[in-house]
């Protein structure tokens, strides 16, 4: 788990990466940043960066698996959420004053090894995020999605299947289901106080 200070650094780094990329088309130089990086930022971690504007999703992309250092994964995910989310046009610099930046640090995903009809019993709403995989299809929903949309575990499974481009009952018919936990840090308002969000 990250400390409160580390969580604040994660969100500041995500915002700085977006600002630097939109204004100068390059990543920020870590030596120019006015915050310290603890050893956790050198660890391999999965992470997602979510951008919202006036209460609406504006971009959300990340590294589901721990394939990069936390520092690299945050910067890459932040820029991807801003300009590479295919659901939205690229973020423009003028939008940053209204943008809320949120960073979710993931635990490594673990496959649920149980008969499919028992999967809902293993999912704690607000604590677990889900990855559903079948063939070339894969979908991921973060832990905060279920409580924010009043989903129970069966609905959460169904929506994760839909995100993967599968039928909502694919989890019952052979799709792999993995769950993970996420630690969420979020700006209260644009460039404002950064708090840890807890849903459970």
| Residue ranges of domains in the chain | 4-106, 110-180
User: Does pTM surpass 0.85?
Assistant: yes
* SS3 call for 2: coil
CA 16, 74, 84, 126 torsion-angle sign? negative
Topology (CATH) of 110-180 = Dna Ligase; domain 1 (3.30.1490)
In 3D space, the residue among 188, 22, 180 whose CA is nearest the CA of residue 104 turns out to be: 180
Residue 40 carries which DSSP code? G
pLDDT digit string (tens) for the chain, length 200 residues:
899 999 999 999 999 999 999 999 988 876 777 788 999 999 999 999 999 999 999 999 999 999 999 999 999 999 999 999 999 999 999 999 999 999 999 999 999 999 999 999 999 999 999 999 999 999 999 999 999 999 999 999 999 999 999 999 999 999 999 999 999 999 999 999 999 998 86
Task: Say if 4-106 and 110-180 have the same CATH topology.
Answer: no
Q: Which CATH class is domain 4-106?
A: alpha beta
Residue 5 carries which DSSP code? H
- Give CA–CA dist 3/51, Å, rounded: 22
């Amino acid at each position: 788990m990250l400390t409160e200070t580390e969580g604040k650094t994660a969100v500041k780094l995500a915002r700085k990466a977006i600002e630097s990329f939109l204004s100068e088309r390059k990543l920020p130089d870590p030596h120019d940043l006015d915050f310290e990086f603890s050893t956790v930022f050198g660890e391999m971690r999965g992470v997602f960066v979510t951008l919202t504007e006036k209460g609406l999703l504006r971009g959300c992309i990340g590294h589901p698996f721990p394939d990069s250092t936390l520092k690299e994964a945050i910067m890459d995910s932040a820029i991807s959420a801003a300009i590479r989310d295919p659901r939205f046009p690229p973020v423009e610099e003028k939008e940053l004053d209204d943008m809320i930046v949120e960073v979710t640090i993931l635990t490594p995903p673990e496959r649920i090894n149980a008969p499919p009809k028992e999967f809902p019993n293993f999912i704690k709403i607000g604590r677990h995020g889900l990855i559903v995989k079948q063939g070339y299809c894969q979908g991921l929903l973060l832990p905060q999605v279920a409580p924010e949309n009043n989903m129970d575990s069966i609905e959460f499974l169904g929506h994760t299947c839909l995100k993967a481009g599968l039928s909502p009952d694919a989890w019952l018919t052979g799709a792999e289901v993995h769950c993970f936990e996420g630690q969420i840090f979020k700006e209260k308002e644009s460039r404002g106080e950064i708090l840890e969000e807890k849903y459970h």
